[in-house]
Amino acid sequence: MSTRGLLLALLCPASLAGQASPTGRLAGTLRGINVPVDGSVAYLVPTQPAGAAGPQDTVVVDQLNLSFVPRLIVVLPGTVVDFQNSDPVLHNVFSPNTPSFNLGLYPRTTSRQHRFSEPGAYVILCHIHPEMVAYVVVVPTRYYAAVEAEGHFAIEGIPPGDYLLHVWHWRSVDIVRQVRILAGQTTTLELELRPAARGLRLSEASP
């Protein structure tokens, strides 16, 4: 996973939520069992109904040198992603996940947009260039973090309460763990990421 991808994933940190009351923090360490942890996304979903998160401003994914740049983005439901084409060749952008979409063929300096309304993990492909792949992870919460290559992650400014922590990676079995966030405290936990039995799960939209 590219550094640029992780940086973009962090453009909407939880600290922007502007919580006035005391908040808590989650710090985790992820260890990969026969699978890399780089490119994982950790996010917290409240177990009690909470205010809707998102959408955010339009996010750009470029197609440059026959690659999607960045290869991983994390967005809130309803966010529009602008898939640009900076290559001197035609590209096509589609996702086989549910709900699927196909933006068709389009040339250099043009772009097509898609609104990601439903939470889930979407693999993004190009019919012309089978080596091109990107991931859009739509999370129903603004409390998320990209996991560093060493496996560390931290989510800041979390309102106290009970949550389900999800960890997603395209090659791995999803982790779901109950966590309690306390005001003024850091909740720490260690997790193990394991490879999915059948590799890339193209038919599954749920993160």
Q: Which residues bind Cu ion (CB under 5 A)?
A: 91, 126, 128-129
- For the bound state, the minimum distance from the C-beta of residue 61 to Cu ion, rounded and expressed in Å, comes to 12
Q: Which is nearer to Cu ion, 19 or 86 (CB)?
A: 86
Min CB(75)–Cu ion separation in Å: 22
Residue 136 beta carbon to Cu ion: minimum distance, rounded to whole angstroms: 16
Distance, CA of 153 to chain centre: 14
| Smaller CB separation from Cu ion, 109 or 188 | 109
Which of 44/93 has CB closer to Cu ion?
93
Q: How far is the CB of 125 from Cu ion (least distance, A)?
A: 9
Report the alpha-carbon distance of residue 35 to residue 207 in Å, rounded.
17
Of 25 and 129, the one with the shorter C-beta distance to Cu ion is 129
CB of 71 to Cu ion, least distance (A): 14
Residue 91 or 169 having the CB closest to Cu ion: 91
